[in-house]
Structure 1
Amino acid sequence: MKEKLMIVSLGLLPLIMVLGNSMLIPLLPSIQKSLHLSGVQTSLILSVFSIPAALCIPAVGILSDRYGRKKLIMYSLIVMIIGSFIAASSASFSSGSFAVLMAGRVIQGIGAAGTTTLAMALTGDVFIGEKRAKVLGLLEVYNGAGKVVAPIIGATAALVVWYAAFFVYPLAAGAALVGIVMYVREGKTGSESVSVQEYLKRAIGIVYDKRKWLFPLFFVGGLGLFLLFGILYYLSFLIEETYHIDGFF
């Protein structure tokens, strides 16, 4: 039973990462109107989450090798909760609301860096053989399911007010934090800790050795996500402004 709760707790981490942007897609028109934003400003609501997350993932990896996956996951969830409350508070500012929202989203992104990747790393530390493959597969199930339910969750929360969606993050992150503290055991720590210089040297070496398939893979993956979120961003405005179907519906 404890192992199942551990897997569920780890599974919440990729779900939280997906909620980061996907949950806000149907809310973008409402946020734009409420805060009187331009199209560029509205699009930044997604970008300022993704970019800090991507930039911080390598640093989180180094720190987790040195100080432990579990500890870094806990800190990451706390940071994401703080960022969520800051983002939600943007609705209460008569001026400067966009800056507050951006600050909250950046902090959320930094926290999100320690979710999916560390969940996979910790799974690799704790489980072995077929069990490891099974748990990694379940993490991907949570990831895929999150992409489906996230927009529905966000739109449902926004039936109250648009910024209610930002309180979903603390609920999900809080549930994951409790589960991580209570049921997740720490993997190996410190034994493979290396200096930043050595880490970068290894990373550059791997990129160079695997460049023939790594760069095309990154390009295709990045292009796919760019087109996906671009289309979803476009559709969220098209459906509401042209067909007057908004929010949950």
Structure 2
Amino acid sequence: MTMNWRAVWAIYRNEMNRFFRTMYQSIVSPVISTALYFVVFGTAIGSRIPTIEGVSYAAFIVPGLIMLSLIMQGTSNASFGIYRPRFVGAIYELLAAPISFLEVVLGFVGAAASKAMFIGAIILLTSTFFVELHFAHPLAILAFFVLTAVTFSLFGFVIGIWADSFEQVNLIPGLVLTPLVFLGGTFYSISMLPPAWQVISMFNPVVYLISGFRWAFFGYADVPVLASLAAIAGFLALCLTIVWIIFRTGWRLRK
């Protein structure tokens, strides 16, 4: 089957146009948030925790902040992107159009991942004004960066299909993802926790993502890097499978 790249581009461009219409807000908000994190955590807590495994505390939290942005931005952009046409009924035009489910997913998820990576890159750039960063494994940084954005954009796409209201669109990111990210080692090392909490933290999938991304920056990880790659690859495969089932069965699409 020949891929209809024009259809993919049309969906992608439409989603990106909504993003660029609020470009000022999209850029200023993460820059201010990142600056506040460095002021509050980097200065206040960093004065009490000078280094972690030889890395300054302010630099140590940078991978966690970027991962926080990729996870939340990818999920929210994709969920709202697909829920909006469902809400207004435009989804039926997509389903009736001569395009495959793969092209629909590529358009929406590609746009959501692009937005997340754009914001993540801005946060990385902003952090260089506060700390000096070292990139131990640049290719691994790129791999975790792209895989996380794409995976959680797929996850957000599933949420947007599942949700019946805007409240449900925000439910999982607010009540599930946010606690998992903040308890996943964004601002601390898992090794700093008591033994019992270290064991409990290993059941948090975000721990593996942040640990792997931090290793790519500094060569330090709370869990084995292969475990981090397996976690992100497994979740990506799970999301792809769910999306395939959704379009094969028409679940929540044809009603």
TM-score by length of 1: 0.32
TM-score by length of 2: 0.32
